[in-house]
Amino acid sequence: MKIKHLKLIIVLMMGLNLNIKAQEKKIALWEDKIPGEIIVNYEENEVYKDNELQNVSKVITPTITIYTPSEIKANGTAVIIFPGGGYSHLSMYKEGKKVAKWLNSLGITAYVLKYRMPDDKTMKDKSIGPLQDAQEAVRMVRRNAKKWNLDASKIGVMGFSAGGHLAATLSTSFSEITYESSDNTSPRPDFTILIYPVISMHQEITHIGSKEKLLGINPSIELLNKFSCNLNVNTNTPKTFIVHASDDKSVPVENSINYYLALKNNKIQCELHLYEKGGHGFGLGLIETSKNWTKDCENWLMYNNYIVENPQ
């Protein structure tokens, strides 16, 4: 009898563990036709290492991968992650899944967006293709807030490098109508987290590769201004946390400084952390002084009531 009871306890514990364990699920972003799409005959290019998806390019089918924290930790806050990659590919592990797992440890439900790369071959207007996906991602999460046990007023976005540009573009252009939505759900993020973001499209400080992928070789001044996020901040822009390394040679630190100043001038709650060393693409922080940015971010999230201290 004792052995049978022991086996029963083990089975019950295993079942409980499955219920409280963090989960991962991928779903299509668009239920029907993707807005502005052009059907092409090529496949997405995925790069794997140790059975983990590292990078993806030639995205034609946008998806959201949901990373759910344990039921014990989940606090109702959601963050949609936009990986970087210069608008030519997406860093799905270092700036996607790995970040999602960190957010899960804080009790935050994370969503990694596999968004379309701007490409004249696959979309009618490549400058708004990524923004369409970003707007729909926020709408999708907000529509399903009750189903996914989320607080609809605590839905944020987080972007790295070119993904940071997309997050900042969404945060300053969320009201722009880029496609016909199925309802009036708001695509406005409640807060924004930017990690070494591309902000400006102007030659002096932009990341040339991101600019050319998004806007082409010789964009008009109107287009440059439209997609220079610091020029489009207003009093409705979400509160923002920003991280950058001063020695970033790919995306000059002035991108973050200019965005911070624009936020400050519009009296938007904002916090900027500049680190002496770290370069570009440090993800969760592996080198030099930038390695501690996640703790600074945790403190900001806690101060703004998006997480609680030491979730158990």
The closest of 249, 233, 155, 239 to 196, measured between CA atoms, is 249
Task: Name the β-bridge partners of 272.
Answer: 242
The list of the chain residues with pLDDT below 70 reads 1-22, 287-290, 310-312
Number of helices (H) and strands (E), helices first, in the chain?
8, 11
Residue 160's alpha-carbon distances to 58, 81, 217, 305, in angstroms, are 19, 8, 23, 23
Check if the beta carbon of residue 159 is closer than 8 Å to that of residue 138: no
Show the beta-strand stretches assigned E in the chain: 23-28, 45-49, 52-57, 63-68, 78-82, 90-91, 109-114, 155-160, 191-195, 239-245, 270-275
pLDDT value at position 287? 65
- The pLDDT value recorded for residue 179 is 96
**pLDDT value for 42:** 83
**Exposure letters 195-204 (e unless 16+ CB within 10 A, then b):** bbbbbbbbee
CATH architecture of the domain with residue range 22-303: 3-Layer(aba) Sandwich (3.40)
Give the pLDDT score at 14. Answer: 45
Predicted confidence at residue 7, as pLDDT, reads 43
In this prediction the pTM is 0.91
Confidence (pLDDT) at 310: 60
pLDDT of residue 292: 87
pLDDT of residue 294: 95
Tell me: the pLDDT tens digits for 106-163? 999 999 999 999 999 999 999 999 999 999 999 999 999 999 999 999 999 999 999 9
Q: What separation in angstroms does the CA of 91 have from each of 46, 121, 263, 310?
A: 11, 22, 28, 29
